Amino acid sequence: MKSSAPLFSRSRLLPAPAAAPATCTIRLTVDAASITALRQLAMRVCGEGLEFMRIALCEGGRRIRAWLCVRRSLAALLGETIARQLPGARFRKPFRPSAAQP
């Protein structure tokens, strides 16, 4: 005998996972002496919106490459703040975040 009723009611099912917020990666290089200031700046501006920060030494060790993965809604603010506070920072690609991008 087969029943067409579901085994569990809808209220007992797990909720669907929430969609992850859209993120983008800001790629830049900074002087080795400025990496701590960059990290502090990113944490102050983004807080929980900073998904991860990856750093790697460039050849010679004077400059450091940094990848900042942040929520798209915070990317423009962080990019402008970095450009103002760390004049030695060089964005690896032209940094123009757009709200129209998915």
Amino acid (one-letter) located at 71: R
Residue-range domain boundaries for the chain: 23-91
Domain 23-91: assigned CATH number: 3.30.70.120
* pLDDT(56) > 90: yes
- Between the alpha carbon of residue 60 and those of residues 12, 19, 31, 36, the distances in Å are 59, 42, 11, 19
Please provide the average confidence, as pLDDT, over all residues in the chain.
Answer: 83
The pLDDT, as a whole number, for residue 100 is: 44
Backbone angles phi, psi at 51, to 5 degrees: -75, -50
Cβ-based neighbour number of residue 72 at 10 Å:
16
Q: 4-21, pLDDT tens digit by residue?
A: 656 555 556 666 677 777
* pLDDT(82) > 90: yes
The pLDDT, as a whole number, for residue 12 is: 62
* pLDDT(99) > 60: no
CB 70 within 8 A of CB 82: no
Higher pLDDT, 87 or 16: 87
